[in-house]
Amino acid sequence: MATEISGEGFSIERACKVLNLSRSVYYYKAVKDDTAVIDKLNELSETYPTRGFDWYYGYFRNEGLGWNRKRVLRIYRKMNLKLRRRRKKRLLTRPKQPLIEAKVLNDTWSMDFVSDALSNGRRVRVLNIIDDSTREVLAAHADYSICSQKVIEVLDHLKLERGLPKSIRTDNGPEFISKKLAKWCEKELIEQKFIQPGKPMQNGFNERLNRTYREDVLDAYFFDSLEQLRILSDKWMYDYNNNHPHRSLNRMTPIQKKLILENELKGGKGNLIKNSIT
**Residue type for position 25:** V
Q: Judge if pTM exceeds 0.85.
A: no
- Residue 278 pLDDT level (bands cut at 50, 70, 90): very low
Confidence of residue 6 (pLDDT cuts 50, 70, 90): very low
Task: Check pLDDT > 50 for residue 2.
Answer: no
| Interval 223-239 mean pLDDT | 95
Residue 141 inside a domain? The answer is yes
Verify that 64 and 174 share a domain, yes or no.
no
**Residue 83 pLDDT more than 80?**
no
From 5, 31, 7, 8, select the one nearest 20 (Cα to Cα): 5
Instruction: Give domain status of residue 95, yes or no.
Output: no
Alpha-carbon distance values, 34 to 38, 70, 90 (Å): 6, 13, 30
202: pLDDT strictly greater than 60: yes
**Same domain for 77 and 164?**
no
For residue 5, name the pLDDT band (cuts at 50, 70, 90). Answer: very low
By CB neighbour count within 10 A (0-12 exposed, 13-18 middle, 19+ buried), where does 241 fall?
A: buried
Residue 37 lies in a domain: no
From 40-49, 109-118, 136-145, 253-262, the region with the lowest mean pLDDT:
40-49
The whole-number average pLDDT for the span 83-108 is: 71
Band of residue 86 on the pLDDT scale cut at 50, 70, 90: low
Instruction: Print the domain residue range for 150.
Output: 108-272
* Residue 156 domain flag: yes
In a domain, 59, yes or no: yes
Q: Is the pLDDT of residue 252 over 80?
A: yes
Residues 10 and 73 in one domain: no
Do 132 and 214 fall into the same domain?
A: yes
For the cut 80, the answer to whether the pLDDT of residue 32 exceeds it is no
How many CB atoms are closer than 10 A to CB 58? 11
**72 shares its domain with 114:** no
- Structural domains counted in the chain: 3
Q: Determine the average pLDDT of the residues in 219-228.
A: 94
Confirm whether 46 is domain-assigned: yes
274 — pLDDT class (breaks 50, 70, 90): very low
Judge if 59 and 132 occupy the same domain.
no
| 172, part of any domain | yes
Q: What is the CATH number of the domain that holds 134?
A: 3.30.420.10
Pair 148, 232 in one domain: yes
CB within 8 Å of 152: residues ≥ 6 apart: 180, 181, 184
Residues 10 and 3: beta-carbon distance below 8 Å: yes
> Looking at residues 133-161, what average pLDDT do you find?
95
253 & 192 share domain? yes
Same domain for 254 and 140? yes
pLDDT in tens, 36-82: 888 888 888 888 877 888 988 888 888 888 888 998 898 888 888 87
The answer to whether residues 153 and 233 belong to one domain is yes
- With respect to residue 100, please indicate whether it lies within any of the assigned structural domains: no
Confidence class of residue 31 from pLDDT cuts 50, 70 and 90?
Answer: low
Residue 231 and residue 200 share a domain: yes
- Angle made by CA atoms 106, 232, 261, in degrees to the nearest 5: 20
